[in-house]
Each structure stands twice: as structure tokens, then as C-alpha cells.
Amino acid sequence: MSRPLFDIVVAMAENGVIGRDGAMPWHLSTDLKHFKALTLGRPMVMGRKTFESIGKPLPGRETFVVSRDPAFLPDGVTVLADLDAALGAAAASAEAKGAPSFVVAGGGVLYAATIERADRLFVTRVAASPEGDTRFPAIDPALWELADSEPMVRGERDSADAVFEAWVRRR
């Protein structure tokens, strides 16, 4: 088997905002279902703040949380103090399980530290420009090619329109 791919999954507003005060500044039930479909059965890496905003391990996804706080030991996840160690553990887990990829699922610090290393980006582009304190790094078109773009069918529990985008690293 070839090495598992390294995916980033993010929901991002038109202005690059991904969060405000530890939460997403929108509610998109349809995107949460999309996120589940993209990540189920795949190991996930996330930062401590992202994990705390979710509040619990997500079912069906082995989760590696990056935190330098040795007292941070929530049940149901593996905590690692080093991003490279977390990425390595997630890749090894994906390979052992036969998963096609592993995922970085937030937050802003991890996205900025890993966008240059990822193979694919799965971006939900939210049709809004909210105030926020966390942004996704710019997607450089010299490095990334838009492979697919599909409008989200807006449900009654969605606060905005959105588009699902898939980007692949240019080789």
C-alpha cells in the first residue's frame, strides 16, 4: 500500500476567518455532515483549543491532540506535545488501518504549520465575512489546484450558503 495522503479539512469564510472566540462564527449543519463523511474512519490531528471547542472525541475517528500542557489528558484521545509526532502517529495509524488518508482538522496554528506539507485541502467556503480572531492561511494557486467545486445544498439549519472545494497539491 502507498503512504496515506495528508488532508486538511476546514470551513472558511470569504475573508479567511475560521473562528471567533473558540467557535465557528456560523452554523452549517450540512457542512458538519460533510465533515463527518470526509473524516469518518480516518485518524485526525487537531490542536487543544479545537478539541476543547468540540468537547469530546468524535466517534469513528482516532484523534491525536497537540498540546504542550502535560496536565491536559482527556479521555478517548492521544495527546502529543509535538506536531510532528502527532502527524507521524496519525500517518502510522492510517497505514495500519488501511485508511486512505489522515486529517488535520484545526485550528489556525496547526493549519498554518501544515498547509505546506498537506496533499489535499477540503475547504467549505462559507458565503459570509464574519468578524473573527482565527484565519486560514492563503491558498497559494502556484502550489494548489482547484480539483472540484460543488455548491452546498443549503438546509433549514444552515446559517449561510457555502461551496465544497477540493484542492490538490500541484506536482
Q: What pLDDT digit, counting tens, does each position of 51-90 carry?
A: 999 999 999 999 999 999 999 999 999 999 999 999 999 9
Q: What is the pLDDT of residue 1?
A: 53
Which H or E run includes 121? Answer: strand 120-126
Please, are residues 104 and 7 in contact by the beta-carbon 8 Å criterion?
yes
pLDDT-flagged residues of the chain (< 50): none
Q: What is the pLDDT of residue 42?
A: 98
CATH tag, 5-169: 3.40.430.10
- Using DSSP bridges, classify how beta strands 120-126 and 5-13 pair: parallel, antiparallel or unpaired: parallel
Q: What is the pLDDT of residue 97?
A: 95
In the chain, what are the domain boundaries? Answer: 5-169
Neighbours of 159 (CB within 10 A): 15
